[in-house]
């Protein structure tokens, strides 16, 4: 994936994992989500992507 508007880290009850998903300017998903067992790993990957300049906004969710 080259660029996105928003990258989100979110908890998925169904997979019992943290998802990392990318969204375009219209808040439509871009590509496939990536899955992580650990929130730390998901956040680290999302921050690295944002810090590379390929994404404008990072949203980190919480587990419900």
26-51 tens-digit pLDDT = 999 999 999 999 999 999 999 999 99
Examine the pLDDT at 1 and tell me if it is beyond 80: no
| DSSP assignment string, the chain | ---EEEEEEEEETTTTEEEEEEE-TTS-EEEEEEEESSHHHHHHHHHHHIIIIIEEEEEE----
pTM of the shown model: 0.90
| Higher pLDDT pick, 1 / 43 | 43
Per-residue model confidence as pLDDT tens digits over 4-19: 899 999 999 999 999 9
């Amino acid at each position: 994936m080259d660029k996105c508007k928003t990258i989100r880290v979110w908890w998925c009850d169904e997979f019992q994992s943290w998802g990392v998903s990318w969204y375009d300017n219209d808040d439509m998903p871009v590509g496939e989500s990536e899955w992580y067992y650990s929130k730390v790993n998901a956040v680290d990957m999302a921050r690295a992507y944002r810090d590379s300049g390929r994404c404008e906004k990072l949203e980190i969710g919480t587990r419900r």
